[in-house]
C-alpha cells in the first residue's frame, strides 16, 4: 500500500494522505539554518547545532504523534483547520504534501478555501520562509482569519526540557509591528535572537503560550483561534511563542499571498554591545535587513527558484538513464539528496535522533563523505580537517563531536577502535575525487588544540599505526569499546554477573579482537600505502604493505571459520560469529569487509562467504546482521544481546551493511546478486509495502526488523544513517561501476544481466564524462572494450586529463 507517489520531473515525493504510518519528514536548509518538517507541518528549526541553538520547541513522545510544528490555523466561521491537517486534525476536502529538494509544499482545501504553504530555507540565509497563498474557490466573498503559531525553544534544547525552575522565568520577547522577537538569553549574551514576522499588517498577536492556548488548552483548538481574536499577550517568562493574526477577505476566485519569515539573527562581535544603555533591548538592524529580503511574494518566489537551481546544479554532476525507472529516480535524486542531509546532520537531528545526544560522529561523518564528496568537494575537505582536528595524538579519536564548537565530546570519549581507519577511508575518497593532495600538508590540531598541530598526513600515519600497534593474542586488531557495531561490547568483562552491561566500561581489554577491523585495515591500508607512495614516503608505504600482507594472513589463519569469516574474539578468547557458537554463529560485517578487502579471494573464501550470507542471513526484506539472534542476555557481549531478537544489532536488517554485501558481490562479479541485494532495501523498490515498512519511501532507514522480530519488515530510524553514503557508493561506483580513482575515472560495471546497458553523465575534476555502457551479451561483469573520444583505451580506467571539458566514453561489456 502506498501513501503517495514519486514526481520525478519535479524531484518530489507527493504524499496524498496526512495519515502516513509515521511522520514522513523532509529537511529544509543546506548549510547553517535547518528545519525538520513533517508531512503534517510538524518539526522544528535550529541554527548550526540542534542541541545548543534550537529556535523552536518540539515535543518528543507526544500524543498525538508529531507535535509541535510551524502551524497555520484557518478560522473560517466555526471551522478551524490547518493546511497540513495537524494540529486541529480537521478532515480536509483535499490534501497533499510535496517534499522536494530542500522545500515542502502543503496544499489543503476545506469548504472551497484552499491554502498552499511553501516552506523552505533560502540558500545562504538563516531563516525559514513560509509562503502562504489563500484562494477562494467559491462564488461568494469569504472573510476569515489566519493565525500563525510557533513555540520558541529557549536555545539549549537539553536545558529547555529539564531546567524548568530557571526557564519559566527567563523568557523575553519584543514586538515591533508584524515582527515578533524572541530574545531569551539576549540580556546575558547580547548576540543572538529569533524573529518571526509576516509581510502584512496584523490584527493582533500573541507571544505567551498560555494566553494563546488558554489554561489547560491544547494546540488542536487554541482559545485564541476558537474565539477568533488575539490577546496581544507579551510573554514574560513561561513559554514564549509567536502567533500573528491576519484578517483576510477574498472575492470569488481571488488569491492572496503572505510571506512569513522565521529567522535566526546573530550580531557580529563589533555590533554586539550596541544598545547597552537600554539593557536587554535588541539591536534589530540585522533582522530588518533579513526581513527586507523576503517582504514580497516575488522575492520569496525568486529565492525558491534560486534554491531549485542550486539543487538542479548539484544533482547534475551525476545522472544516469536506464530502463529501470526506479534506479534512475534513486540515483538521480533521492540517494544524493539523502547523502547531502546526512553530511549536514551527521547523526544529530531526525525524528529518531533527538538532536541532543549525538552531534557529529567521527566514524559516521567520515563515512558520509563517501557519498557526498562529489557534490561539494570543498565542503568535504573542510569537514575532513574538522574531524581530524578532534583526533588524539596517539591516533585514536573522540567518537563524537559537537557541530557548533567542533570539539570532541568527552562524555562519550574514545575507544571505538575502528574510528581511526575511517579517516583514511574518507580522505582516500576525497583525493580520488579531486586529485587534491594538498590537503595532506594542512597543519591540523589534535584534540582541538592548535599548539599540538601536525600535518594532516601525519594524522593519517597515526591512524594507521594506531590499529597496527593495538593487536591482540591472535594478532588481530583489538576491538576496544566497539568497532562499527556499537553494540558488540566485548570488554564488559568486569561487570558482575547479573548486572546489566557497561557499554562504556573499560575501553580496551588485552584480548577482545575484531576481524571486522582487520578487514578495514586491509582495505583502507591499501589506500594509505598508495597515498604514502604518491607523497614519496616509500619506506612507510613498504611498511604498510607488509603489515597489510601480514594481516591478510592473520585473517586466513585466525579469522576464517571454514564457510565464513569469524566476527571477533571476546575477552575470554572465545570465538564470536562461529559455527561453534550457540547463537550469533555468523555476522554480516566481516563478510562484507573481508570480501571488499579481497582477503582469501584466490583461496575461494570470498565466494564461499557470499554463499553463506545468502544461505544464512538472507530475507525477503534484506540481509540480517547475524544469525541466529541472541536469545538471552550475555553480559560478556554487551548491548547487542540487550535487544530482543530481530531488532537493531541483534539480527535486525541493518541497511548500512547491506551495500557492503552488494559491493562484495561485485568484487566477485555477481551482478545479479548485487542487484538483488540493492533492490531489496532500496526505498523506491519497496514503496508498495509502505504500510509494512512504515518509514519514508524516499529515503533509507537505519534498520528494518529482521525475521526473528514480531514486526518483520518494519523500519526504524529513517534519514540519518551511513546507508545513504554506502548505497550511493555501491550503486554508482560498483554496480554502475563509475569509480573515481587516483589516476582517473574507472568504468567497470557489474550489473544485472537483464540490463541492456545505460548512459551516464559524470563530472569529475572539472571534466564531464558522457558514458554509454552497452551490454549486448547480457553479462553481469566484464569490459570487452572502452572507447574514449573515438580512441580505444586499455583496461577500465580513463587516465585523467583536464584538456577537454567533455569526454565521450563508450564501454561494451562482455
Would you tell me which residues interact with ligand BGC (CB under 6 A)? 486-487, 503, 639, 648
Contact between 487 and ligand IFM per CB under 6 A: yes
Report, in Å, the least distance between residue 637 CB and ligand IFM.
Answer: 13
**361 lies in the site for ligand IFM, by CB under 6 A:** yes
Which segments of 530-620 are extended strands (E)? Answer: 568-569, 575-576, 586-587, 618-619
For residue 636, the partner it binds in ligand BGC, ligand IFM, none, with Cβ less than 5 to 8 A by kind, is none
Pick the closer one to ligand IFM by CB: 126 or 485.
485
Peptide bond into 252 cis (omega under 30): no
How large is the C-alpha radius of gyration of the chain? Answer: 28
The alpha-helical segments, DSSP class H, found in 173-266 are 186-189, 209-213, 223-227
Distance, in Å, from the CA atom of 494 to the CA atom of 491, rounded to the nearest integer, reads 8
Query: Which residue from 103, 484, 616, 769 is in contact with ligand IFM, where contact means CB under 6 A?
Result: 484
Query: Of ligand IFM, ligand BGC, none, which one does residue 464 interact with (CB within 5 to 8 Å by kind)?
Result: none
Measured from the CB atom, is 156 or 396 closer to ligand IFM?
Answer: 396
Q: Which stretch binds ligand IFM (CB under 6 A): 303-311, 336-344, 485-493, 574-582?
A: 485-493
Binding segment for ligand IFM among 131-139, 314-322, 439-447, 480-488 (CB under 6 A)? 480-488
Q: Of the two residues 456 and 700, which places its CB atom closer to ligand BGC in the complex?
A: 700
CB 659, CB 729: distance < 8 Å = yes
Count the Cβ atoms, other than its own, within 10 Å of residue 342: 28
> What, of ligand BGC, ligand IFM, none, does residue 361 touch, CB below 5 to 8 Å by kind?
ligand IFM
CB of 476 to ligand BGC, least distance (A): 23
Residue 486 or residue 696: which is nearer to ligand IFM going by CB?
Answer: 486
Q: DSSP state, 557?
A: H
State in angstroms the smallest separation of the CB of 744 from ligand IFM: 32
Nearest distance, CB of residue 677 and ligand IFM, angstroms: 18
* Total binding residues toward ligand IFM, as defined by CB under 6 A: 8
- Count CB-CB contacts under 10 A for residue 799: 12
Per-residue contact string for residues 317-356; x = within reach of ligand IFM by CB under 6 A = ----------------------------------------
Tell me how many helices (H) and strands (E) the chain has.
Answer: 22, 42
CB 200 within 8 A of CB 173: no
Q: How far apart are CA 429 and CA 725, in angstroms?
A: 12
* Pick 25 or 412: Cβ nearer ligand BGC: 412
Q: Contact region for ligand IFM (CB under 6 A) — 253-261, 271-279, 295-303, 359-367? A: 359-367
Residue 30 CA: distances (Å) to CA of 23, 106, 314, 345, 553 = 21, 20, 12, 10, 46
* Strand 757-764 with 318-321, pairing: antiparallel
Binder of residue 772, out of ligand IFM, ligand BGC, none (CB less than 5 to 8 A by kind): none
> Which of 50, 750 has the CB closer to ligand BGC?
50
CB of 345 to ligand BGC, least distance (A): 14
Answer left, alpha or beta for residue 649, where phi above 0 means left and psi between -120 and 50 means alpha. alpha
Q: Rounded to the nearest whole angstrom, what is the least distance from the CB of residue 576 to ligand BGC in the complex? A: 17
Report d(CA 723, CA 47) in Å as an integer: 25
Q: Output the CA torsion 314→320→325→330 (10° steps).
A: -40
Write the interaction track for ligand IFM spanning residues 646-665; mark x where CB under 6 A is met and - where it is not. Answer: ---x----------------
Query: How many angstroms separate the CA atoms of 16 and 33, rounded?
Result: 28
Nearer to ligand BGC, 345 or 793 (CB): 345
Question: Which among 419, 429, 365 has a CA at the least distance from the CA of 395?
Answer: 419
Q: Shortest gap between Cβ of 581 and ligand BGC (angstroms)?
A: 21
Q: Active-site residue numbers?
A: 486
Q: How many residues does the chain have?
A: 814
With contact defined as beta carbons under 8 Å apart, do 594 and 568 qualify? no
486, 636, 665, 696: which one contacts ligand IFM (CB under 6 A)?
486
Question: CB under 5 to 8 A by kind: which of ligand IFM, ligand BGC, none does 49 bind?
Answer: none
Give dist(CA 489, CA 504) in Å, integer: 8
Quick one: 486 or 618, whose CB is closer to ligand IFM? 486
What are the C-alpha distances in Å from 18 to residues 40, 82, 130?
A: 6, 11, 19
- Region from 24-32, 84-92, 357-365, 626-634 binding ligand IFM, contact rule CB under 6 A: 357-365
Which residue, 711, 661, 659, 708, is CA-closest to 689? 711
Looking at beta carbons only, is 456 or 501 nearer to ligand BGC? 501
Residues paired with 172 in a beta bridge: 236
Pairing status of strand 513-514 against strand 568-569: antiparallel
Quickly count: other Cβ atoms within 10 Å of residue 383's Cβ: 22
Residue 364 lies near ligand IFM (rule: CB under 6 A)? yes
Interface segment toward ligand IFM; rule CB under 6 A; list 263-271, 479-487, 519-527, 628-636: 479-487
Q: Does 368 bind ligand IFM (CB under 6 A)?
A: no
**Nearest in space to 433 (alpha carbons), one of 298, 523, 511, 318:** 318
Answer for which of 207, 342, 485, 730 binds ligand IFM (CB under 6 A) is 485
Position with the least CB separation from ligand BGC:
486
Which position among 363, 381, 571, 670 is part of the footprint of ligand IFM (CB under 6 A)?
Answer: 363
Beta-ladder partners of 142: 250
With beta carbons less than 8 A apart as the criterion, state whether 148 and 243 touch.
yes
Q: Minimum Å distance from CB 446 to ligand IFM?
A: 22
CB under 5 to 8 A by kind: which of ligand IFM, ligand BGC, none does 364 bind? Answer: ligand IFM
Residues near ligand IFM (CB under 6 A) are 361, 363-364, 484-487, 649
Amino acid at each position: 500500500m502506498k501513501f503517495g507517489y514519486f514526481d520525478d520531473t519535479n524531484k518530489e515525493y507527493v504524499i496524498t494522505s496526512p495519515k502516513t504510518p509515521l511522520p514522513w519528514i523532509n529537511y529544509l536548509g543546506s548549510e547553517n539554518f535547518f528545519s525538520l518538517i513533517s508531512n503534517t507541518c510538524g518539526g522544528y528549526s535550529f541554527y548550526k547545532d540542534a542541541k545548543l541553538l534550537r529556535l523552536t520547541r518540539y515535543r518528543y513522545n507526544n500524543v498525538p504523534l508529531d507535535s509541535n510544528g510551524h502551524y497555520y490555523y484557518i478560522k473560517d466561521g466555526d471551522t478551524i483547520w490547518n493546511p497540513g491537517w495537524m494540529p486541529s486534525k480537521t478532515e480536509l476536502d483535499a490534501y497533499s504534501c510535496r517534499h522536494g529538494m530542500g522545500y515542502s509544499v502543503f496544499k489543503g482545501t476545506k469548504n472551497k478555501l484552499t491554502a498552499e504553504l511553501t516552506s523552505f530555507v533560502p540558500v545562504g540565509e538563516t531563516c525559514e520562509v513560509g509562503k502562504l497563498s489563500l484562494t477562494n474557490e467559491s462564488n461568494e466573498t469569504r472573510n476569515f482569519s489566519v493565525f500563525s503559531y510557533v513555540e520558541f525553544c529557549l536555545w539549549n534544547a537539553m536545558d529547555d526540557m529539564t531546567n524548568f525552575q530557571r526557564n519559566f522565568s527567563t523568557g523575553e520577547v519584543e514586538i515591533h509591528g508584524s515582527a515578533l522577537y524572541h530574545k531569551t538569553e539576549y540580556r546575558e549574551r547580547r548576540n543572538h535572537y529569533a524573529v518571526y514576522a509576516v509581510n502584512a499588517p496584523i490584527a493582533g498577536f500573541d507571544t505567551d503560550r498560555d494566553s494563546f492556548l488558554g489554561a489547560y488548552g491544547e494546540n488542536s483548538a487554541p482559545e485564541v483561534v476558537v474565539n477568533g481574536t488575539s490577546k496581544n499577550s507579551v510573554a514574560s517568562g513561561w513559554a514564549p511563542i509567536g502567533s500573528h493574526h491576519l484578517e483576510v477577505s477574498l472575492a470569488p476566485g481571488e488569491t492572496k499571498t503572505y510571506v512569513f519569515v522565521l529567522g535566526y539573527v546573530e550580531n557580529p562581535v563589533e555590533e554586539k554591545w550596541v544598545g547597552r544603555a537600554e539593557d536587554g533591548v535588541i539591536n534589530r538592524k540585522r533582522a530588518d535587513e533579513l526581513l527586507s529580503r523576503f517582504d514580497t511574494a516575488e522575492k520569496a518566489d525568486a529565492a525558491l527558484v534560486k534554491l531549485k537551481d542550486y539543487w538542479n546544479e548539484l544533482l547534475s554532476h551525476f545522472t544516469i538513464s536506464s530502463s529501470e525507472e526506479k534506479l534512475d529516480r534513486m540515483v538521480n535524486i533521492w540517494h544524493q539528496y539523502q547523502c547531502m542531509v546526512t553530511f549536514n546532520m551527521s547523526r544529530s537531528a531526525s525524528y529518531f535522533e533527538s538532536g541532543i545526544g549525538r552531534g557529529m560522529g567521527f566514524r559516521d561523518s567520515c563515512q558520509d563523505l563517501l557519498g557526498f564528496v562529489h557534490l561539494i568537494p570543498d565542503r568535504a575537505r573542510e569537514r575532513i580537517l574538522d574531524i581530524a582536528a578532534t583526533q588524539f595524538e596517539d591516533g585514536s579519536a573522540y567518537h563524537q563531536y559537537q557541530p557548533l564548537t567542533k570539539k570532541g565530546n568527552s562524555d562519550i570519549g574514545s575507544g571505538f577502535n575502528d574510528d581511526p581507519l575511517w579517516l583514511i577511508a574518507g580522505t582516500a575518497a576525497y583525493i580520488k575525487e579531486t586529485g587534491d593532495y594538498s590537503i595532506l600538508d594542512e597543519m591540523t590540531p589534535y584534540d582541538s588544540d592548535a599548539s599540538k598541530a601536525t600535518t594532516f598526513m601525519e594524522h593519517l600515519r597515526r591512524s594507521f599505526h594506531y590499529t597496527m600497534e593495538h593487536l591482540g593474542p591472535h594478532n588481530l586488531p583489538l576491538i576496544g569499546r566497539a568497532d562499527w557495531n556499537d553494540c558488540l561490547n566485548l570488554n564488559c568483562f568486569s561487570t558482575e554477573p547479573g548486572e546489566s552491561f557497561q557499554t562504556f566500561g573499560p575501553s580496551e581489554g588485552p584480548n577482545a579482537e575484531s576481524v571486522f577491523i582487520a578487514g578495514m585495515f586491509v582495505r583502507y591500508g591499501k589506500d594509505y600505502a598508495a597515498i604514502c607512495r604518491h607523497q614519496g614516503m616509500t619506506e612507510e608505504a613498504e611498511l604498510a604493505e607488509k603489515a597489510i600482507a601480514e594481516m591478510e594472513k592473520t585473517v586466513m589463519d585466525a579469522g576464517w571459520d571454514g564457510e565464513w569469516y569469524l566476527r571477533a574474539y571476546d575477552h575470554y578468547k572465545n570465538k564470536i560469529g562461529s559455527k561453534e557458537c550457540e547463537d550469533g554463529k555468523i555476522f554480516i560485517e566481516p563478510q562484507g569487509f573481508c570480501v571488499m578487502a579481497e582477503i582469501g579471494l584466490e583461496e575461494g573464501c570470498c565466494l564461499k562467504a557470499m554463499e553463506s550470507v545468502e544461505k544464512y542471513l538472507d530475507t525477503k526484506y534484506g540481509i540480517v546482521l547475524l544469525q541466529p539472534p541472541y536469545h538471552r542476555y550475555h553480559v560478556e557481549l554487551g548491548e547487542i544481546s540487550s535487544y530482543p531478537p530481530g531488532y537493531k544489532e541483534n539480527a535486525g536488517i541493518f541497511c548500512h551493511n547491506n551495500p557492503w554485501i552488494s559491493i562484495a558481490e561485485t568484487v566477485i562479479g555477481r551482478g545479479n546478486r548485487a542487484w538483488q541485494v540493492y533492490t531489496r532495501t532500496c526505498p523506491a523498490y519497496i514503496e508498495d509495502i509502505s504500510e509494512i515498512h512504515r518509514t519514508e519511501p524516499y529515503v533509507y532507514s537505519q534498520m528494518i526488523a529482521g525475521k526473528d522480530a514480531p514486526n518483520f519488515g518494519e523500519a526504524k530510524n529513517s534519514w540519518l544513517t551511513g546507508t545513504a553514503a554506502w548505497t550511493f557508493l555501491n550503486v554508482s561506483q560498483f554496480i554502475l561501476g563509475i569509480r573515481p580513482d587516483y589516476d582517473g575515472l574507472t568504468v567497470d560495471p557489474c550489473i544485472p544481466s537483464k540490463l541492456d546497458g545505460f548512459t551516464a553523465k559524470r563530472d569529475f575534476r572539472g571534466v564531464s564524462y558522457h558514458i554509454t555502457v552497452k551490454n549486448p551479451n547480457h553479462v553481469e561483469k566484464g569490459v570487452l572494450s572502452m572507447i574514449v573520444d573515438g580512441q580505444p583505451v586499455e583496461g577500465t580506467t580513463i587516465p585523467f586529463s583536464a584538456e577537454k571539458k567533455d569526454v565521450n566514453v563508450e564501454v561494451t561489456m562482455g
